[in-house]
Amino acid sequence: MSHPLPLYSLLLILVSSCGSTAIAQLDQDDVPRDLEQEVGPVLGDSNVSYWEFGLKIQSEGNSSGIIATLPIPVDWREQQVEIVREKKTDNLKRLTYNNITKPMKQLVIKANRLAPGETAQASVVFRVNKRDIDHPVDPKRLRFSKSPPSRVRPFLRPSPYIESNHPRIKALVKKEFDFGDEVSDYDQVEKIYNWVRSHVEYEFDPVIHECLEALDSGKGDCEELSSLFIAFCRAKEIPARAVWIPGHTYPEFYMEDEQKQGHWIPCQAAGDYCFGAMPEVRPILQKGDKFKVPGSKKPLRYVQPMLTAKDASGGISIEWINRRLSEQDVAEMTTDQ
């Protein structure tokens, strides 16, 4: 599957500042609810795993004023995250955390200067309690939202690689997805899902393509399949967004019950058929597909590891640390503490 946050070797010569802020807060549509009143997706089995996220910084020449950032997991309805251990080399300052938007969080790594050939490294180990998302209790009672709340409306607009307002997308939605009242709202979305999976063959590509390109070529990986599904949903006035986990992305769409309670419903655009549920142990790094971050003039599809420096004329690079810890790793870590 596609790797939405690959290893980066990049250099942004910028002056930037990132301060520490509070833990990101959950969106109202992502908090646990009373299961007796639930009609949407419910939480299933719990899976606990340990993950390490961080960066290795390599300076080729003299570098100063270095700030590196990377996305880290935060709490969601289906995910609870706990920091177990921070690690850093002595040539780095104290690790801090920064919220770009809620709930989106970065680890911030700073160094005053690095000499030629010097390496710095920092990482955080997380305990992730991830619960499966089971199918909606009563999908026939779920409806399209006629007036989505303000926090949801951005997921009706175009975003990078998701050209939901393009005339071709709109025309195709009108031609293929005008189902009428005989098809329930939930089943309409599943028909969109099936159309995307049947018309775009899975093929891995390290380069991300616009959803229109995937439509033309009939090929794409989890990036393009998710983008096309999201574009169709948005063109049909159904809020939808991307969910990013290590090495993969999948979409969610938004519906409401009779009490106007919102529900984000996942599906697996690429891979095994899975509509309305998500059995996934890998931690969520971010939800959404249009982020504004310091140092970038244009909105980003996702928040990736980034590096800024006041002076890095000799060259500097970063490598993303992203791994699930084995039972042996966890045992050794516990022994070390």
For Cα atoms 129, 80, 286, give the angle at the middle one, nearest 5 degrees: 110
Inside any domain, residue 20: no
88 and 111 belong to one structural domain = yes
What the block records as the tokens of 18 is 């990132």
Spatial contact of 192 and 169, defined as CB atoms under 8 Å apart: no
| Domain tally, the chain | 2
- pTM for this model (two decimals): 0.88
66 & 111 share domain: yes
pLDDT of residue 10: 39
Range of the domain at 56: 28-33+47-131+297-336
Please state, in angstroms and rounded to a whole number, the distance separating the CA atoms of residues 155 and 167: 18
Specify whether 154 is located in the same domain as 179. yes
Residues 109, 185 within the same domain: no
Judge if 149 and 75 occupy the same domain.
no
**Could you tell me which of 252, 231, 253 has the C-alpha nearest to residue 167?**
231
- Same domain? For 195 and 308 the reply is no
Q: What is the pLDDT at residue 316?
A: 95
Closest CA to 71 of 110, 31, 48, 101: 101
Among the ranges given (26-40, 58-72, 136-150, 170-184), the one the predictor scored with the smallest mean pLDDT = 26-40
112 and 138 part of one domain:
no
Beta sheet of 240-245, edge-to-edge order: 262-266, 248-256, 240-245, 286-287
Distance CA 95, CA 87 (A): 9
Dihedral sign for Cα 80, 4, 303, 317, please.
positive
Of 108, 91, 92, 90, whose CA–CA distance to 100 is shortest? 108
Within 8 A by CB and 6+ apart from 83, the residues are 124, 125, 126, 127
Same domain as 277, residue 144 = yes
Asked if residue 246 has pLDDT above 50, the reply is yes
CATH at residue 174: 3.10.620.30
Domain assignment of residue 40, yes or no: no
Range with the poorest average pLDDT among 79-88, 150-159, 213-222, 289-298? 289-298
Q: Is 251 exposed, middle or buried (0-12, 13-18, 19+ CB in 10 A)?
A: buried
As a whole number of angstroms, the distance between CA 159 and CA 300 comes to 8
Residue 17 lies in a domain: no
Residues 86-128: pLDDT tens digits?
Answer: 999 999 999 999 987 777 899 999 999 999 999 999 999 999 9
219-220 vs 201-202, strand pairing mode: parallel
Contact 207, 224 (CB under 8 A): no
- Residue-level pLDDT at 332: 84
Question: Are residues 165 and 307 in contact, defined by beta-carbon separation less than 8 angstroms?
Answer: no
Q: Is the pLDDT of residue 259 over 60?
A: yes
Q: How many helices (H) and strands (E) does the chain have?
A: 5, 14
Say yes or no: 124 and 139 in one domain: no
- In a domain, residue 217? The reply is yes
Indicate whether 196 and 239 sit together in one domain.
yes
What pairs with residue 109 in β-bridges? 68
318 beta partners = 57
* Cα–Cα dist 130/28, whole Å: 19
Separation CA 276–CA 268 (nearest Å): 9
From residue 94, give the alpha-carbon distance in Å to each of 17, 88, 219, 290: 14, 8, 45, 29
The answer on 103 and 198 residing in a single domain is: no
**310: DSSP letter:** S
Distances (CA, A) of 292 to 115, 125, 244, 248, 319: 32, 26, 16, 21, 22
If asked whether residues 159 and 191 sit together in one domain, one would say yes
Is 2 a domain residue? no
CA distance 94 to 80: 24
Is 94 within the bounds of a domain? yes
7 belongs to a structural domain: no
